[in-house]
Homo-oligomer: A and B are copies of this chain.
Amino acid sequence: MATCSETNSDTEDQDKEYVGFATLPNQVHRKSVKKGFDFTLMVAGESGLGKSTLVNSLFLTDLYKDRKLLNAEERIMQTVEITKHTVDIEEKGVKLKLTIVDTPGFGDAVNNHECWKPVADYIDQQFEQYFRDESGLNRKNIQDNRVHCCLYFISPFGHGLRPLDVEFMKALHEKVNIVPVLAKADTLTPTEVKRKKIKIREEIEQYGIKIYQFPDCDSDEDEDFKKQDYELKESIPFAVIGSNTVVEAKGKRVRGRLYPWGIVEVENSAHCDFVKLRNMLVRSHMQDLKDVTRECHYENYRAHCIQSMTRMVVKERNRKYDLSRNLLFMFLLYNILVFGVQIII
């Protein structure tokens, strides 16, 4: 040992050193891959707008192998039913449990009065189940069936939104992230698409419909990202064309639709917004859709539930019922809501 000098560590020295908690995001990343992901997507809109085809195109799976199509007669009196398809898909080691919630029959009847109700009820039921589960004793392995996003299909033939579209979106916009899409856009010229989008955006504004809002860009994002973000916001409603058919265009095999006058390429951004929609839904905003569902829609549902319980008790009290009846009522309500009926007095 030649020379040893002892000094107090100064701030400059400390700044140079590295503790290592910068690895925290990587620890989270690693854990999330191990655990796997889930996502629940709802599709809604009248029959024949290509909902199933679009979903299959988006996730490159065949989710509707066993689908039975109803004829016109069967559909006249049909009530809206909710169906659920789940697939486990994997990509680059990342596992996703994808659930598609479909609403066959929506808007198909002659009288579509309140036909959004079964859909709203379904969403509420998932929230209720989750509220029960997360208030229960054992919270391991809770199955989370909350709906993270609803793709709402708007007909390309309507002059803007139809009354049913407005009614549906207004009934559901506080329960789920609504992403409107302009279906079967290959029936519209680029000018028509542009005009229709502007009209629909104006109507959404006018009717006070709160569709899913893309989170604002941070000021520190680069210009490219900001431009992409702006373009995304201007694309609403996404004009989409679905196809599960591969055709050959200019020597390349692409998914598309073969017409006598040309080939519509699904993934060509000059033809439609399919790629933009997929990028948003899957590659950039999927986690945000889940977070907004959890932090906003579910929290609203939960707060509403607790407040109703409280209100009911207060109301009962004001009626000057005897104390024990009030308490019994409140307590049973709480047990039914939260624990199921585990505790029986």
Residues of A at the B interface (CB closer than 8 Å) are 1-9, 13-14, 17-29, 31-34, 37, 39, 58-61, 89, 91-94, 96, 135, 137-140, 218, 244-251, 253, 255, 258, 262-263, 278-279, 282-288, 291, 295, 299, 303, 306-307, 310, 313, 317, 322-324, 326-328, 330-331, 334, 343, 345
With A27-B287, A37-B24, A299-B139 in contact, do A19 and B91 touch (Cβ < 8 Å)?
A: yes
Partner of A286, one of B21, B245, B283: B21
Give Cα distance in the complex from A9 to B242, angstroms. 13
A253, closest chain B residue (CB): B13
Give Cα distance in the complex from A31 to B139, angstroms. 25
Give Cα distance in the complex from A4 to B58, angstroms. 23
Smallest distance from the beta carbon of A10 to chain B beta carbons, Å? 8
With A4-B247, A20-B278 in contact, do A27 and B288 touch (Cβ < 8 Å)?
A: yes
Inter-chain contact B343/A327, CB cutoff 8 Å: no
Inter-chain contact B258/A21, CB cutoff 8 Å: no
Give Cα distance in the complex from A313 to B8, angstroms. 61
Give Cα distance in the complex from A310 to B26, angstroms. 42
Smallest distance from the beta carbon of A37 to chain B beta carbons, Å? 5
Inter-chain contact B19/A278, CB cutoff 8 Å: yes
Give Cα distance in the complex from A317 to B137, angstroms. 21
Give Cα distance in the complex from A323 to B18, angstroms. 63
Inter-chain contact A307/B137, CB cutoff 8 Å: yes
For residue A5, which residues in chain B have a CB less than 8 angstroms away from its CB?
247-248
Inter-chain contact B94/A25, CB cutoff 8 Å: yes
Inter-chain contact A17/B334, CB cutoff 8 Å: no
With A286-B21, A324-B324 in contact, do A1 and B263 touch (Cβ < 8 Å)?
A: yes
Give Cα distance in the complex from A319 to B178, angstroms. 54
For residue A255, which residues in chain B have a CB less than 8 angstroms away from its CB?
9
For residue A93, which residues in chain B have a CB less than 8 angstroms away from its CB?
22
Give Cα distance in the complex from A116 to B20, angstroms. 31
Chain B CB count within 10 A is highest, among A21, A22, A59, A282, for A21
